Amino acid sequence: MTTLGPGYREYVSDGEFAAGYTDYQQRYAAEPRESDRVLIGHVATALAGRPAGSPAPRVLDIGCSTGNLLRHLARALPDAELWGGELMPEALDACHAAPDLAQMTFTEMDLLDIGHPGAFDVIVINAVLYLLGDEDLARALASVAGALAPGGSLVAFDLFHPFDQHLTIREASATHPDGLVLHFRPYALLGDACAAAGLEPPAIHPFAIPIDLPRPARDDEIISYTVPTAAGERILFRGALAQPWCHVVASRPG
């Protein structure tokens, strides 16, 4: 485990940050983020082709925050049984209090120890794995593999890149003055970790954001923004960091 500073465990227990993040999530309650639109498509594809008469597919969003992604999944997959797992008490309280989430199941759940063996057809991990050290990444993937039904799929959105370069960065900012440890991992490391967990080789889809995001007005405001390239692409930055966001799909063998 890295000793550079706070990571996953501190992040999920930071009540002050949770309150601010809940406000951020409200921006996307009506319409999903662009990355979430793509993620929902991958979930739908993973569930396509189920035999007629199969039980309703069970989908878990682990690290569901205040349930925004589940709201959008419910619209796209009205027949699915939706679950949200979360460690932040403030986020779970918001989910339990929301009338439009009342038909979903929310529970305190740790990505590193999901339990519920073989229970889910899809498990979504949306921008969480980059907070895990390598040992916890292995634990998380093994936990996911155990909770997936045979033939079920992990669908993730996270920071991975094609280079033979494993970066561990401590980001100190106004939001996280004590620092937050971020991991930028190569595709090859992810593939090895999936294999060790009993998952099939992952399909990795680099995310190309289709909209422009303005640079923040203040340099102490650390949020995502885009920088155009001469080729007409957009590079996503967070402060000085370019973010290699990807969607990942890895299945448990059937």
Domain at 52, CATH number: 3.40.50.150
Distance, in Å, from the CA atom of 104 to the CA atom of 109, rounded to the nearest integer, reads 15
Distance, in Å, from the CA atom of 32 to the CA atom of 13, rounded to the nearest integer, reads 25
- Mean pLDDT score, 124-144: 96
Task: For residue 3, tell me if it sits in a domain.
Answer: no
Length of the chain as a residue count = 254
Instruction: Give me the amino acid identity at 183.
Output: H
Residue 93 has pLDDT above 70, yes or no: yes
Task: For residue 82, tell me if it sits in a domain.
Answer: yes
Residue (of 155, 149, 154) closest to 254 by Cα position: 149
Task: For residue 131, tell me if it sits in a domain.
Answer: yes
Residue 253 has pLDDT above 90, yes or no: yes
Distance, in Å, from the CA atom of 87 to the CA atom of 147, rounded to the nearest integer, reads 17
SS3 at position 47: helix
- Mean pLDDT score, 219-231: 93
Instruction: Specify the DSSP element, H or E, that contains 190.
Output: helix 187-197
**Lookup: tokens for 163:** 């280079």
- Mean pLDDT score, 168-194: 92
Task: For residue 102, tell me if it sits in a domain.
Answer: yes
Top-confidence residue, 23 or 70: 70
The pLDDT > 70 percentage for the chain reads: 90
Distance, in Å, from the CA atom of 188 to the CA atom of 228, rounded to the nearest integer, reads 28
Distance, in Å, from the CA atom of 114 to the CA atom of 82, rounded to the nearest integer, reads 15
Task: For residue 1, tell me if it sits in a domain.
Answer: no
pLDDT confidence band for 52 (50 / 70 / 90) = confident
Q: What is the pLDDT of residue 176?
A: 79
Residue 80 has pLDDT above 80, yes or no: yes
Task: For residue 2, tell me if it sits in a domain.
Answer: no
Distance, in Å, from the CA atom of 226 to the CA atom of 241, rounded to the nearest integer, reads 11
108-144 b/e (C-beta count within 10 Å ≥ 16 → b): ebbbbebebeebbbbbbbbbbbbbbbeebbbbbbbbb
Looking at the structure of the chain, the number of domains it has is 1
- Report whether 251 contacts 203 (CB < 8 A): no
The residue range of the domain holding 87 is 8-251
Task: For residue 240, tell me if it sits in a domain.
Answer: yes
Query: CB-side exposure of 140: number of CA atoms within 13 Å?
Result: 23
SS3 labels along 218-238: CCCCCCEEEEECCCCCEEEEE
Q: Per-residue DSSP letters for 65-128?
A: TTSHHHHHHHHH-TTSEEEEEES-HHHHHHHHH-GGGTTSEEEE-BTTB---TT-EEEEEEES-
pTM listed for this prediction: 0.92
Task: For residue 45, tell me if it sits in a domain.
Answer: yes
CB-count burial class (<10 Å; 0-12, 13-18, 19+) for 213: middle
Task: Give the phi and the psi of residue 253 in degrees, each rounded to 5.
Answer: -55, 140
pLDDT confidence band for 89 (50 / 70 / 90) = confident
Q: What is the pLDDT of residue 155?
A: 98
What mean pLDDT, rounded, does the chain reach? 91
